Copies of this chain bind each other. A is one copy, B any other.
Amino acid sequence: MTTSPVTHRAAAPHILARCRDLVRPALAGAVQRLHPWHAEMAAFSLGWGGVDGSPVPGSQGKGVRQALALLSAEAAGAPAEDAVVGAVAVELIHVFSLLHDDIMDGDETRRQRATVWKVYGTGPAILAGDALFALAVQTLADSPGAHGGAAVRHLAGTLTDLVRGQAEDLLFETRPWTGPEAVRPHEYRWMAEHKTGALLGCATGLGGLLAGAPAATVDALAGAGRHLGVAFQAVDDLLGIWGDPERTGKPVHSDLRRLKKTYPVLAALATDDPAARHLAALLGSGNPLDATTARRAADLVEEAGGRTATLAEAHRHLDSARRSLDGVPLAPAALGELLALFPFFVDRAA
Interface residues of A (CB under 8 A from B): 33, 35, 37-38, 100, 103-105, 122-124, 126-127, 129-131, 133-135, 137-138, 141-142, 148-149, 152-153, 155-157, 159-160, 162-164, 166-168, 170-171
Contact of A103 among B126, B138, B159, B160 (CB under 8 A): B126
CB distance from A34 to the nearest CB of B (A): 8
Q: Is the CB of A126 within 8 A of B127?
A: no
Residues of B with C-beta under 8 A to A148: 149
**Complex CA–CA separation, A100 to B164 (angstroms):** 18
Is the pair B123, A103 in contact by a Cβ cutoff of 8 Å?
A: yes
Q: Is the CB of A167 within 8 A of B35?
A: yes
Instruction: Give the 7 A-B residue pairs with the shortest CB-CB distance, closest first.
Output: A104-B123, A134-B159, A138-B156, A131-B163, A35-B167, A141-B153, A137-B156
Across the interface, which residues of B come within 8 angstroms of A130, CB to CB?
A: 100, 129, 133, 159, 163
Q: Verify B171–A157 contact, CB threshold 8 A.
A: no
Which of B105, B131, B166 is in CB contact (< 8 Å) with A167? B131
Measured CA separation A252–B33 after assembly (Å): 40
Among B122, B126, B138, the residue within 8 A (CB) of A160 is: B138
Q: Which residue of B lies closest to A160 (CB)?
A: B134
- A interface majority secondary structure: helix
- Given A122-B122, A127-B170, A152-B141 contact (CB < 8 Å): yes
Which residues of chain B are near A138, meaning CB under 8 Å? 153, 156-157, 159-160
Determine the distance from Cα of A162 to Cα of B127 in the docked complex, in whole angstroms: 10
Q: If A134-B163, A163-B134 touch, does A127 touch B104 (CB 8 Å cutoff)?
A: yes
* Chain B min CB distance to A19 (Å): 25
Residues of B within 8 A of A160 (CB): 33, 131, 134-135, 138
Asked if B127 and A100 sit within 8 Å, CB to CB, the answer is yes
16 A-B contact pairs sorted by A residue (CB < 8 Å): A37-B171, A100-B130, A103-B122, A124-B167, A124-B170, A126-B126, A127-B166, A127-B170, A130-B163, A131-B160, A131-B167, A135-B160, A137-B152, A137-B159, A142-B153, A142-B156
Q: Which residue of B lies closest to A134 (CB)?
A: B159
Contact (Cβ within 8 A) A37 B156 = no
Look across to chain B and name the residue whose beta carbon is closest to the beta carbon of A151: B141
Chain B residues closer than 8 Å to A100, beta-carbon distance: 126-127, 130
